[in-house]
Amino acid sequence: MAGGESQTPVTLSDRELQIIDLVAAGLTNQEIAAKLEISKRTVDNHISNILTKTQTENRVALVRWALQWGKVCLNDVNCCSLPNQNE
């Protein structure tokens, strides 16, 4: 897979998922820190851990990974589940 995207599912905490959502929304680490009322250094650490867990190299690759695995919804992309074929 291009961009170093992980091909296996990854377990992320609720806080990590929240931070991924804010990264996908285009917020900087400082803006994320202000929104979550935590320090920028804490955000930096979370993002570093998330990049390691997801085996992604940067924020763009992280957002691509999050879209691939249905972890974020951007402008109605990945926002709804497909109907069950048996129903």
Higher local confidence (pLDDT), 85 or 63: 63
* pLDDT tens digits, 22-73: 999 999 999 999 999 999 999 999 999 999 999 999 999 999 999 988 888 8
User: What is the structure's pLDDT at 76?
Assistant: 65
What tokens does 40 get?
């920028």
> Under a CB-based contact definition with an 8 Å cutoff, are residues 69 and 9 in contact?
yes
pTM: 0.78
The CATH number of domain 14-69 is 1.10.10.10: yes
Distant-in-sequence, close-in-space partners of 17: CB < 8 Å, separation ≥ 6: 71
Over range 69-87, report the average pLDDT.
65
